Chains A and B, each alone.
Chain A
Amino acid sequence: MANVLINAPKTAKRGEVIEIKALILHPMETGFRPGTNGSIIARNIIERFTATWNGDEIFRIDLSPAIAANPFVSFFAVATDSGTVGLRWSGDEGFQVEESIAITVE
């Protein structure tokens, strides 16, 4: 089960620049570490994070094995219309998580 913490304002003024922060539970296993039996632990990372505002993509990053476990992402957006901000993480081993938050723009 996915475990996510999101920090974003519930309301914003039109045109305001708001910050959206999201933290997700994930091991971000690099694929370079040997396990206790000496063989390499398979890579298991989040490869991509995308954010949409009412369906339009507003932000995207590609993550690398050098990023620590439980990655924290913070980005800014201009509040235009009320609606839904969708957050999506995807990666190795079929990892796929989607969360959404509602923001009211006044």
Chain B
Amino acid sequence: MEFSSYIFDANQRIFWLYLLSSLAIALVMIKLHPKYKSYFTKKILWSESSILDYKYFILNAFVKTFLILPLLIGANEVALILIQFLQTVFGYLQPLHVAKENVVLLYTLSLFIIGDFTRYWLHRFLHTSTLLWRFHRIHHSAEVLNPFTFYRVHPVENILFGLRHALSAGIVSAIFIYLFGAKIGTIEFFGTNIFVFIFGLLGANLRHSHIPLRYGIFEHLFISPYMHQLHHTKKHSHQNFGGVLSIWDKIFHTWHVQTTQENQIYGLEEKNPHTTVWSLFYEPFLRKI
């Protein structure tokens, strides 16, 4: 269990470069609007809610590494099963003569778009299903947002997101391998999908922060950190389910923006049931409907 892997892996939200770029953006914003300085103080970063996030991050990292990762089916396995299925049903297909560069571009884009689409729907189900909401609620019980709130996710939700990844990446890969054989590959930067990388650089860590970074007109296409902050408010938690793209929220009528408001209140409607790090783990199982 190496925590450094979180910092040095560009697949992680808290990759040093993403943290740094978010920090840089935050500092520029504070420079432009000095009042934002109050969003970035010890009071917030060392609040009870934040400390809970940090503790939970460490404990759940063990759960993920030792309990979830070894048991969860991977995208690779899903892909292999599906390729066999495709070959049985549709027969063997001689790999198409297409330049590898084009396949790589298309595959990278497909992985990203399908991945983002499935994220939207799983997130939406986590809110609409009463059973799933029990588990997703622990993410929303954070009353203060900081980059580590991203990891305040119940193991059950981790499993669901992991399965979602295995299925979506597995299906996309199977189709591409069936059609193009070994010509698949992803455009990567620091070992991660280039789109994930760009998203990370554009202040992804500010989604869980109080700095209201907005994307202006691009909010019709992308979820800005402020839009995700709105999702964490009591009033708009049934909107802006999107990860990177906001087009899913647009298409499925959950898109919401408004003029930037200061001092928004985050957390649950009800009294926060999560006061200890252990309660984050067991509370969803004990709770009466």
- Chains A and B belong together in one complex: no
